[in-house]
A and B are shown apart, each in its own frame.
Chain A
């Protein structure tokens, strides 16, 4: 394979666009199966196989199948998009093998949309729309993509290729302008100009701390040294956040290109991507993308003929949350226990192997190419005064629409939870939204109008963090949730510095005591005291922020803590030691609970009311979960 020049990028783009565009007499339909980790785990591979077989049997040569990564609507996977010549594309949800066969038969061949399974029509991004496309028959009532509330408020920049390109084919990425930003940076811009463009954009680190990316690059570019490194933090350990996985799986070239631009800016020739071991598909996609980029001469020696050398290696983590902290990550790449080290010196001065290093996370890197192409001013065109551009959130928990959401900075949190999320299922009530994972905090209903902005959210006692957004309904106990996060931090504390090692342990013990009904009134003061010493004295971000979930829940839900301590009562009915289960007279005697009870604590004749033996009951709640009649009460 000959190494590419810049004009080749445009040539490939033209070829791909011509070869994939629907055209009368040649290509009449495109079928896209979306295959991220979520889609695959829900059976997307079987769906793909079914459609392939059906297409082969039909003998139609004018139709083709493509695959792409995650389409963003995770709860409705597997998703399939059908686009026919001259018609708007239709997106189907929760497709299985049977549905796939019917969709192919009725819609692809027959031309009639199956409206019961379709959830959106039209293009998610306006610039992709084909002019004059008609609504296919049967889809009159299917909502238009940008009118669907889930998609309506989104602004796709990082995820601009989601559901569109096949990540295994570099040509498809090039057709969506991949490496044009790098070409511009390599041939037309000096290092100072690249740094200036980044500073103009106002982009801040998307991994959690929100440090201005341009400034970080500037420090490192000014540090003297002939060997420097750029690193990508893909150790997305924050439970409940998975936007980085999605970007790596569906658009790895955006990350590689971003790193290439960063390398030029600081004068590095080697880069590492530290990816967590829990993401096997992401590692596979990255390695594939790197191989293809090397083959095209987009990585390696003399990139695009510019004389600039840069290469990237993927480094697989081994399961340690603390390795998401920058200095711990570097120690881990060096092959040691991933423990943080004190800063200063900052990595921009002395990082990996003691060389000047720039570390950014996946989402940050993926923003860079577009900033080069469209300019820093364009990027800063949306957002608030101090937070520019867009942020991807992983909206999960007790909401109807679970998925990845990219929204402009400054949008009220309410808009994400209510418009995109589409309300709370099972008729329950909203209680809080948890932002930022184990380093973050809860935001209750009355502050939902706060904008998505680093400073505004910090004032509420939470953080934007890496973008986990978990909605909690009123059936969840807030003390139990705080205990859950502290359990996580205690388990993941590396043990190097005592404030974190001892502090997380003490806090976990106290929270467990409160959940078991053995809390004392002094416990709340103790929690607050330990929290402030940890914040002031822990070595790294993990320890400094580990108390945030406790502090923020104490701030907004103190009465719930007090109910546990003073009345030995768990208002949400969650904490095992403080509740009892009983079966009321709604019971029909169906026997479901009896079969599922791991303790054989439930007895009763068929069609008669069942009884729970309280001595045997371990309060696992299985009976309550399986009961279809709401006959198991908790008190």
Chain B
């Protein structure tokens, strides 16, 4: 279900983490250890703490929770929320729920793609932006919606896109 990752990007994911970051990861694993069904919350917390879930972190989780790595990889690639590559400083999420689609969300996405020269699911080389799509954020009254980091931009018009992006460094 998740998009295939180019080889270079996957290698970039194998960067070393700082000892502090790894300590955080271990603390999260310790917190949930022994609790049945805790794999997904563990991965969610780790991704929140260090940004993404490269293979070396998955291996750490496998050893910590005593779950086969294959199972962990299976879960990470199944759910949209998880990513194995580092993402940009600003995450743009263009809503493509039905109301946003009817309200012109696809056109907004098209223009974002052209403006940033970036396909959905990818990050700009300077890591300023990651462009993602999302299936309904549940605020259909504001369609079409674009969320950048935690800011909601409602009833986005094509003429305003460049201006909106300017605010994010």
Contacts and interface: CB of A to CB of B under 8 A. Distances in A.
Interface of A: 37-38, 40-42, 74-75, 77, 236-242, 245, 277-279, 315-321, 332-338, 353, 394, 396-398, 402-403, 434, 437, 468, 470, 472, 476, 481, 484-485, 488, 491-492, 494-495, 592, 595-596, 598-599, 618, 620-622, 625-626
A74 B142 contact: yes
A396 B157 CA distance: 18
A622 B135 contact: no
A396 to B, nearest CB: 4
Given A38-B139, A598-B111, A320 B79 contact: yes
Interface of B: 1, 36-41, 43-44, 71, 74-75, 78-82, 96-104, 106-107, 110-111, 114-115, 134-143, 152, 154, 157-159
Contact of B140 (A74, A320, A398): A74
B107 A74 contact: no
7 contacts: A241-B138, A242-B136, A333-B37, A485-B98, A491-B1, A495-B1, A596-B159
Given A41-B139, A42-B142, A316-B44, A622 B111 contact: yes
Which of B36, B43, B142 has the most chain A CB within a 10 Å cutoff? B142
Nearest to B98: A240
A434 B96 CA distance: 16
A72 to B, nearest CB: 10
Nearest to A484: B101
A470 B99 contact: yes
A237 B114 CA distance: 29
Nearest to A574: B106
Closest 9 interchain pairs by CB? A74-B141, A41-B152, A239-B97, A598-B114, A319-B80, A242-B138, A318-B79, A239-B136, A240-B98
Given A241-B138, A396-B102, 12 more contacts: A37-B137, A75-B141, A240-B97, A242-B139, A242-B140, A335-B37, A336-B75, A470-B98, A470-B102, A620-B107, A620-B114, A622-B158
Pick from A279, A333, A622 the residue with the most CB of B within 10 Å. A622
Contacts of A337: 74-75, 78
Nearest to B117: A598
B138 A396 contact: no
A318 to B, nearest CB: 4
Contacts of B97: 239-240
A579 to B, nearest CB: 13
A7 to B, nearest CB: 38
A41 B101 contact: no
A58 B26 CA distance: 53
A488 B102 contact: no
Contacts of A320: 1, 78-80
Contacts of B80: 318-320
A316 B41 contact: yes
A485 B71 CA distance: 30
Contact of B110 (A334, A403, A620): A620
A618 B37 contact: no
Most buried by B among A332, A335, A592: A335
A489 to B, nearest CB: 11
Contact of A598 (B43, B71, B115, B136): B115
Contacts of B154: 41-42
Scoring B75, B97, B152 by chain A CB atoms within 10 A of each residue's CB, the highest score goes to B97
A571 B136 CA distance: 28
A485 B157 CA distance: 23
A41 B110 contact: no
B102 A437 contact: no
B36 A335 contact: yes
